[in-house]
Amino acid sequence: MVPLSYYLVLSGFLFACGVAGFLIKRNIITIFMSIELMLNGVNLSFVAFAAHWHVLAGQVFVFFVMVVAAAEAAVGLAIIIAVYRTRETLNVDQVNLLKL
Amino acid sequence: MTSSLNLWLIPVLPLAGAAINGFLGKKSSRTAVTTVGLVFSGIAFAWALSVALRFSSVDLPYQEFVAHWIRSGAFSADFALYLDQLSLVMLLVVTGVGFLIHIYSVGYMWDDPGYYRFFAYLNLFMFFMLTLILANNYLVMFIGWEGVGLASYLLIGFWFTKDSAASAGKKAFIVNRIGDFGFLIALFLIIQHFGSLNFTQVIAQVQPISPETGSAGLLTAIGILLMMGACGKSAQIPLYVWLPDAMEGPTPVSALIHAATMVTAGVYMVARSHVIFERAPMALMVVAVIGTLTAFFAATIGIAQTDIKKVLAYSTVSQLGYMFMACGVGAFSAGIFHLMTHAFFKGLLFLAAGSVIHAVGGEQDMRKMGGLRSYVPWTFLTMGIATLAIAGIPPFAGFWSKDEILWQAYSSDHGSWVFWLIGIITAFITSFYMFRLLFMTFFGDYHGAQVDPHGQAHAAHGHDDHGHGEPHESPIVMLVPLMILAFLSVVGGLVGIGNRFEHFLAPVFGSGAVSEVAGETASRVTEYVFMGISVAVALLGLMLAHVLYVSKPYLPQRIADSLNGFYTAVLHKYYVDEFYAKLFVKPLIQGSTTILWQGVDRKIIDDTVNNAADGARHVSDEVRHMQSGNLRSYAGWIAAGSALVIAYMIWMGVR
Amino acid sequence: MVSVHLILFLAFGAVCVAGAVNLLAQTHPINSALSLIAVMAALAGEYLLLGAEFVAAVQVIVYAGAIMVLFVFTIMLLNAGVEERTKGSRVAVLFGIPGMLLGSILVGWVVLRHSGTEAVVAGALPGDPKVIGQLLFHEFLLPFEITSVLILIAIMGAVVLASKPATSPAGKVE
């Protein structure tokens, strides 16, 4: 039997890796992928709790998260493409027109 | 229960007149303004007369409820009116003399561009004064009290384009305010200890209290504070300084407000509160001392003044001192009696002085007058009667009232021969300076400038001239009030014979007011002796004035020169105004400039605001670096922030 | 006590961890993408262990199969190369990483300390499509419908954003 806490630790670790990648990486696409990693970590947490408390709503929520992640990925990648067209680079440090 | 007397009409009618004249007067004709002004105050007087006629059939004291005002817990104060013998006397005096002065003003102010304004203010004053007199509780009385102060300010500064007039108005109002401070504290004390400001309720609660011994106690405090208010309103020491300056206003104003009515409000208030004073001997002593000192002090100043109105002003202060002396020895009805006769002869004196000033085309300095007897005979006649009255020569009005006061000052329980002595000396001085005024103005040779057709000498008068070559008598509209008042000055004192006036007011002041002839025949003789002394003293003053100003006119200058320093001090009113300026006004202005303006306003308030703005700017200067345009730093902030939030939530969950 | 459940959990978990770390370590985005796919596959396994069959299937089909393919396509289209070193962000390094570390340590500590030993039984709560479907169309109908609108909007947005910009009018002057 696997204690719940193991799942949660794994979920937390995945989330932490996602945040790390979000902060460290310079390539926009890689940053995006880190976000997806974060979402996955959270999904695992949801499912684990659903199984723990025998509430199926957790899995339904995971379903919704995935749907939203899909939508977000689509739009986000479209934005990346648009940015690439204008800036000719995928380096996030060069997208700094908002600088004061 | 008697039917309603509709007392409320008496104050409200002048108010309506004031409103009409105030709002519509500018565009109306002189006739319309005159009609409104006279009609409303006339009807008020007529109504007062009708009330007087019905007086014997009315239950006293008569109270009339007009409207709710304050209902707060156990405390209530309503707009309600109160009528008893005392109010009736005051009512008749105010409406009667007031109406006469209205008539007089028609002639006096006819050529003034602010004619409508004058009548509006005059009616407004009547409204407030009547409210003061007819109030049934201290709070409504205070409304009237403040209101007459306002009207006084407006009327003193009537020719507001003149600096001195505007300043005099301010001075009057501000000095009054100082007295009002005391009055208010007294009201607070009354509310706190008696729970009400209603006269009947306060009287009922104070009555059972036995007189306070020693100098401490609640009633003493209330009494002294009330007296402070009276000092401000009735120009006693130390708050009398505004009254001489108030002569900047038109002469009818001086007659009405600063002789007959407003300044007597203080006396009325003290008389109204007699139950409190009677049970606080120390307060009574304070009142008597202040009154006596003021009477003497002001009389000495009056000797040296050269402006005809200033002499009368100081005379008013002095006579008010007599009234307070009367109240201070417990002879309240004597004080009110003198108030009434004083309204007659002082009002007459001022109006006649106005007539004189009008005659000489605006000159107010007596040294430039003289010999006017032949030019303005009617004015001379009436003014002579008034002077005889104020000097206390029988059978004119002033004799009866002043003598009653002096007698009471000696014989009353609270009295003392000291008061009598100072009173007698003051009577001598009063007679002297009043006859001095009479002689300087009407006897001798005319020293004045010939009044040329375009009226050069208009001084403080602001009055258009009629272009006559020499002093001329006033129009009939101004003379009739003079004559009526002269008549009253002659017969007005006769109501005091046989203590009839006292008996009339006895229901108000009770038996404790006057020591009813204690020790019958012996004190009778003393009374007659004193009467004789006061008459003698008055005649002495007359003779001295005659010597100095008619037969040997070179003498005054010699006397003044020999007294030199002292004379200069008296001439400059003992430098009291300068003293006050140095002691109070200058430090106040200084403190206000350095502490309040530069310190508080500039440094604290302005700097706070400026620094707050500066601070916001500096903070934003630092914070703006957060928006660097660098996506990763944004990401970093987000991560940091969310970490904090998560940590906080975990901590809350763990607890 | 060691059970099959635990071994399988550890196995899949190891793959997850390795993939996540690899995602961070790699410089070329395609390598990161492939690591992410591995993570997702392993997660699908974890879901199966927890009895969430439907979710596991959706994970593989939608996440690994569609979204990641989208990522790979984008990488290919944009010809993303190896990351170059550029000036980073002080804030990210100073605040972000310690913050994240702190957060994760905190979470881990709390979880491990307080969860006790209640175990999750494998397959205790069967998440078969039928049951999920009933939930979706009864209690969660409104979110379901809204989500479908959301997807529609996302599609439209993506199409608009990624379409070629209209050529600027050249005007008559050449």
Nearest to C150 among A9, A18, A71 (CB): A71
Query: Tokens 């997807």 correspond to what residue?
Result: C151
Question: Which of C52, C117, C162 minimises the CB distance to A59?
Answer: C52
Chains with 3+ CB–CB pairs under 8 A to C are A, B
With a pLDDT cut of 70, the percent of chain B lying above it is: 93
Chain A hits for B622, CB-CB cut-off 8 Å, are none
User: According to the model, what pLDDT value does residue B132 have?
Assistant: 93
- Closest partner residue to A79 (CB to CB) among C36, C67, C161 is C161
Q: Grade residue C118 by pLDDT with cuts at 50, 70 and 90.
A: low
Which segments of B305-373 does DSSP mark as H helices, in order?
Answer: 308-328, 332-359
Which residues of chain A make contact with B641, given a CB cutoff of 8 A? Answer: none
Look at residues B235, B381, B246 and name the one whose alpha carbon lies nearest to residue B295.
B235
- Between B25 and A71, where is the model more confident? A71
Distance from CA of A1 to the nearest CA of B (A): 26
Q: What pLDDT band is residue B467 in, cutting at 50, 70 and 90?
A: very low
pLDDT 10s digits, B43-96: 999 999 988 888 877 777 788 888 888 888 888 888 889 888 888 889 999 999
Flag if C103 and B646 touch (Cβ within 8 Å): yes
Mean pLDDT of C109-116: 69
Cis peptide before B252 (omega within 30 of 0): no
The B-side interface with C (CB below 8 A) comprises 630, 632-633, 635-637, 639-640, 642-644, 646-647, 650, 654
> Does residue B516 carry a pLDDT above 50?
no
Is the pLDDT at B456 greater than 50? The verdict is no
- B377 in contact with chain A, both atoms CB, cutoff 8 A: no
Amino acid C59 reads Q
The per-residue DSSP string of B553-614 comes to: TTHHHHHHHHHHHHHHHHHTGGGHHHHHIIIIIHHHHHHIIIIIIIIIIIIIIIHHHHHHHH
- Put simply, the answer to whether C78 touches A25 (Cβ < 8 Å) is no
Query: Nearest residue of A to residue B636 by CA position?
Result: A23
Q: Which of B624, B629, B639 sits opposite A23 (nearest CB)?
A: B639
Mean pLDDT, residues B101-121: 89
Contacts of A20 (CB under 8 A, 6+ apart): A34, C24, C97, C100
Contact status of C100 with chain A (Cβ, < 8 Å):
yes
Cα B416 to chain centroid distance, Å, stands at: 28
- What's the mean pLDDT when you consider all of chain B? 84
Q: So what's the pLDDT on residue B196?
A: 86
Handedness of CA B240, B242, B245, B249 (dihedral sign): negative
Out of 3.40.640.10, 1.10.287.3510, 1.10.1740.10, 3.40.50.720, the CATH code matching A4-94 is 1.10.287.3510
Q: How far apart are CA B152 and CA B253, in angstroms?
A: 8
CA distances for A44 relative to A30, B44, C7, C74, angstroms: 21, 97, 18, 26
Q: Which residues pair with B79 in a beta bridge?
A: B67
Q: Would you call A23 and B628 a contact, using CB atoms and an 8 Å cutoff?
A: no
**Min distance C174 CA to chain B CA atoms (Å):** 38
Q: What DSSP designation does C118 have?
A: P
Do residues B428 and B538 lie in contact, with contact meaning Cβ atoms separated by under 8 Å? yes
Report yes or no: B60 and B82 within 8 Å, Cβ to Cβ: no
**CB distance B631–A23 less than 8 Å?**
no
Instruction: Please count the CA atoms within 13 angstroms of the CA of B229 that sit on its side-chain side.
Output: 27
> B501-507, long-range: CB within 8 Å, 24+ apart, which pairs?
B501/B333, B501/B337, B502/B333, B502/B334, B502/B337, B504/B85, B505/B85, B505/B86, B505/B89, B505/B332, B505/B333, B505/B336, B506/B333, B507/B60, B507/B84, B507/B85
Flag if A51 and C124 touch (Cβ within 8 Å): yes
- Residues B488-515 have pLDDT tens digits of 888 887 877 767 777 788 777 765 434 4
CB–CB of B630 and A93 under 8 A? yes
**Mutation site, B620, B630, B642, B645, interface A, largest A CB count within 10 A:** B630
Q: What is the pLDDT of residues B524-553, one digit of tens each?
A: 788 888 888 888 988 888 888 888 877 777
Mark which residues 38-67 of C lie under 8 Å from A by CB. 39-40, 43, 46-47, 49-52, 54-55, 58-59, 62-63, 66-67
Q: Are B642 and C90 an interchain contact pair (Cβ–Cβ within 8 Å)?
A: no
| Mean pLDDT calculated for residue range B546-572 | 77
Give the pLDDT confidence score for residue C86 in this predicted structure: 57
Residue C169: per-residue pLDDT: 53
Q: Which of B365-374, B407-416, C103-112 has the lowest mean pLDDT?
A: C103-112
Q: Which of the four pLDDT bands, split at 50, 70 and 90, describes residue B519?
A: very low
B520 has pLDDT over 60: no
Quick check: B639 and C96 in contact, CB under 8 A? yes
- The counts of H helices and E strands in chain B are 26, 2
Amino acid at B91: L
Taking an 8 Å cut-off on Cβ atoms, the answer to whether C91 and B644 are in contact is no
Q: Which tokens in the block code for residue B148?
A: 């007459």
Contact criterion met (CB < 8 Å) for B637 and C93 = no
Mean pLDDT confidence for A26-47: 93
Give the pLDDT of residue A35. 94
C109 inside 8 A of chain B by CB: no
pLDDT in tens, C36-88: 999 999 999 999 988 888 999 999 999 999 999 999 999 998 887 776 665 55
Considering only CB atoms, A29 lies closest to which of C24, C71, C119, namely C71
What's the pLDDT score for residue B27?
Answer: 83
Burial class (CB in 10 A: 0-12, 13-18, 19+), A66: buried
- Work out the pLDDT band at C168, boundaries 50, 70, 90: low
Instruction: Please report the number of interchain residue pairs, chain A to chain B, with beta-carbon separation below 8 angstroms.
Output: 30
pLDDT level of residue B3 (50, 70, 90 thresholds): low
pLDDT of B102 over the 70 cut: yes
Report the residue from A17, A36, A94 with minimal CB separation from C24. Answer: A17
Domain made up of C1-84: CATH architecture: Up-down Bundle (1.20)
* Residue B466 predicted with pLDDT over 60: no
Provide the pLDDT for residue B493: 79
In percent, the amount of chain A with pLDDT more than 70 equals: 96
Q: Where are the domains of chain C?
A: 1-84, 128-162
Half-sphere exposure of B641 toward its Cβ, with a 13 Å CA cutoff? 6
At B200-230, the pLDDT tens digits run 888 888 888 777 665 568 888 889 999 999 9
Chains that touch B (3 or more CB pairs under 8 A): A, C
Count of helix runs (H) and strand runs (E) in chain C? 8, 1
Unique residue bearing structure tokens 């001997």: B281
Residue type, B593: T
**Predicted structure pTM score:** 0.69
pLDDT, tens digit (0-9, with 9 covering 90-100), for B274-302: 888 888 888 888 999 999 999 999 999 88
Sequence spans of domains, chain A:
4-94
pLDDT band at B593 (very low <50, low <70, confident <90, very high): confident
At B515 the pLDDT is: 43
Phi, psi of B66 (to 5 degrees): -105, -50
Does B414 have pLDDT greater than 70? yes
